[in-house]
Amino acid sequence: MATPSIQLLFGPMLLGVFINMILYGILLSQAYHYYQTFKRDAPWIKYLVLYLFIVETINTGCDIAMMYQPLINNFGWGRVGKVEATRYFPTLFAAEPIVIVAVSTPIQIFFAWRIRLLTKSIILAAIVVSLSFISLAGGIWTTVLIVKVQEFARKPELHWPALVWFISACAADVLITGVLVVALTKRKTGFVATDDVVSKIIRMTVHTGMLTAFFAIADILFFMILPVRGLLCCAFRLTEELTSALCHFQRTALNFLWDLALSKLYSNCLLSTLNSRTDLQVFVGYQSQQRNGNGAPSSSANRRNMDVPSDERGGAHVLGSSMYELETPPKSFDRRSDTVEFGITITKVVETRQDPENIILTTQ
């Protein structure tokens, strides 16, 4: 069999590591912003962010070492070194699948928790959790087989565990995105300010959720389709020259353009979700100023467009920062729809006229 192309084998892996490191820099910035801004978040959320930071740091180091072995350690060994580098997986390659699922699983469980709060559906949350654990099992299975297989030429033997891993992860991501979009769409009230905020959350949910799903689909397609050509040519016993040429597809690594960025995408998507609460507060504050001028409604038309919660006595006030925390809303807001995504409580303010001279705002 002819020597596989170094460009197709290690080129995508090296580019994947570059993308991984760029996303790691973005992760550092987002983690710093989170800890500086949301100091009052629940401790378990802070620990989750810390856990992701530690795992991603280890992952970045492992990826650099993974490429150092074939491109530096084996450099200068002549033909022997080239054969070793192109025949066997890098030693730390086995760590990649288990690190990805170690990151994606808790993040998917976090969003399952948000689905449970938002929709009150235990079944939907349980399905997401089940898919995440199936993905975890598939990632562990893939790692075990990589240690056992070791050779690029036997890469097709990894297909079944990789299918379990990627398909379940992709299904979980799509389900999370779909459920959150549907649930948030139902929370639209018909009030301009509230609907603008909900629409902004929906757009961000689609962007973050579908991004990880897209990379997972691209990874599995590149992983499955290219090696299949090599298997087909070998199965049908074509001419030696044609078989030798086509079977190079067995030892390509184009899927690593997507694979090596996956864990960082999951972590960045979660942190983007957490940090976006700052932008939403600014967005709502700007809308409040635009509609209310100096903070108080000046006409009946303005009051109809206001989406502000009322206290127990019916007095209107501006949305506070506590409304954006990732906690269950306090009991004083029991009369309103609670547990909206990102901790935002949506309130309908309905104007009723009981007296020609007095307008009373009541909360539904």
Domain layout of the chain by residue ranges: 6-282, 294-363
In this predicted structure, what is the pLDDT of residue 238? 41
In this predicted structure, what is the pLDDT of residue 123? 95
Specify whether the CB–CB gap between 267 and 26 falls below 8 A: no
Number of Cβ within a 10 Å radius of residue 159: 17
In this predicted structure, what is the pLDDT of residue 335? 41
> So what CATH class is 6-282?
mainly alpha
Mention every residue, 6+ apart, whose C-beta is less than 8 A from residue 95: 59, 62, 66, 143
Specify whether the CB–CB gap between 34 and 49 falls below 8 A: yes
C-alpha pair distances (Å), 159 with each of 162, 190, 219 = 5, 49, 12
The residues that bridge with 362 in the sheet, in sequence order, are 350
Residues 143-159 pLDDT 10s: 999 999 888 778 778 88
Residue whose C-alpha is closest to residue 174's, from 108, 259, 271, 265: 108
In a 3-state reduction of DSSP, which class is residue 349? strand
Residue ranges of the chain with per-residue pLDDT less than 50: 1-2, 228-250, 294-345, 355-364
In this predicted structure, what is the pLDDT of residue 18? 93
In this predicted structure, what is the pLDDT of residue 290? 58
In this predicted structure, what is the pLDDT of residue 205? 77
In this predicted structure, what is the pLDDT of residue 258? 85
Residue whose C-alpha is closest to residue 162's, from 226, 209, 106: 226
- Whether this model's pTM surpasses 0.95: no
